[in-house]
Structure 1
């Protein structure tokens, strides 16, 4: 599978390293351009590349992992992502400084808002409820596998993310739709930042 990233920070890199270890290609993009990603690509080897956001979004699966206020700019100008599976790893922090603040989206969940900006895409909420330091290592531990909550409105898209993350070693748990499941794992939800292991 070819996986594109919109954003190349800690979360995107952690997911990408798992993907590369399992033989998937990763195409990184960010707001500063492909040249800024040359050291990262060199470090990750032949299965990593850097490109423009539009080129990264042409991959089989796309990971959206940028700070919340930058999402509109990150997706602006992308071609329609018809049927593309997009993992939404974002959290709706309106700001982090001087104090964290949650964006007011009214009745929408964060991923419903993201989905509205990506017409045609099949959005799956995942990875947002885990800190990067829990995503990066091998998710398989003596006590069990790291639980990965996910939510989405498209069953096939969720199956794609479930199968991929299971391959990485996570224990994916489907919480339902972007509205119901998304509320559980977005900021302020009861499963936000909950790190748990599943015994096999």
Structure 2
């Protein structure tokens, strides 16, 4: 299984830190030349590989960690996303719900990634919190996942556990997605909640 993070701002960095901590290889890409952020990637660790966007999107599992408005540009990079799982880490801050056709923001994003399997996840934590080691107070930091594809949600649940998090599935995008989305000037009930799961 291969992984990529598209977007290397604060959230992209935080996700890369999680991969680096666990020695899992991941490609990182932006619309810029990889050389422009190679030093930042190297500072995180040797498993963080800077690539061109066209090469990074060859991965099986892709974290979409760009600004919400940029997601259509990423989606245009492939004619079809069949066989790929996209993790929507975006939040539609300041975007009126009317512009999304009244849909959850994740459903709107899913439409752009033709034939891809979309999972909403890793977006409810602030970047500074997401970047921290999820092993905390004897428990594991929670990440919420929502998807209309149960198989994709299970797949990303395993990845989340491999990265040290405790995944909690919230159901489909129309139900669970609403709980972890920020759009317009409002946000779901679980946005910015920093929760810890204790196994026992």
TM-score normalised over the length of structure 2? 0.90
Equivalent position to 2:102, from 95, 102, 107: 107
CA contact (8 A) 2:60 2:83 kept: no
Corresponding position of 1:193: 192
Distance 2:2 2:17 in 1: 13
Distance 1:38 1:199 in 2: 37
Contiguous gaps of at least 5 residues in structure 1: 94-100
Aligned residues: 193
Contiguous gaps of at least 5 residues in structure 2: none
**1:30-67 CA deviation, whole Å, 9 max, x = no partner?**
12221212212322343222222221111121000111
Aligned residue for 1:81, secondary structure, equals coil
CA contact (8 A) 2:79 2:114 kept: no
**1:8-42 CA deviation, whole Å, 9 max, x = no partner?**
11111211222233232111111222121221232
Equivalent position to 2:144, from 142, 145, 149: 149
Q: How far did 1:79 drift?
A: 4.1
CA contact (8 A) 2:124 2:180 kept: yes
Corresponding position of 1:18: 18
Within 5 Å, give how 1:61-100 maps onto structure 2. 61-93=61-93
TM-score normalised over the length of structure 1? 0.90
Equivalent position to 1:123, from 118, 121, 124: 118
Q: How far did 1:107 drift?
A: 2.4
Aligned residue for 2:108, secondary structure, equals helix
Distance 2:69 2:116 in 1: 20
Q: How far did 1:7 drift?
A: 0.6
Q: Which moved more, 1:5-14 or 1:68-77?
A: 68-77
CA contact (8 A) 1:22 1:168 kept: yes
**1:52-106 CA deviation, whole Å, 9 max, x = no partner?**
222111112100011112222232232422121111000002xxxxxxx233213
CA contact (8 A) 1:63 1:87 kept: yes
Equivalent position to 1:169, from 139, 142, 164: 164
Distance 2:96 2:68 in 1: 9
Distance 1:196 1:137 in 2: 13
Distance 1:78 1:29 in 2: 15
Aligned residue for 1:102, secondary structure, equals coil
CA contact (8 A) 1:130 1:193 kept: yes
Q: CA RMSD in A?
A: 1.5
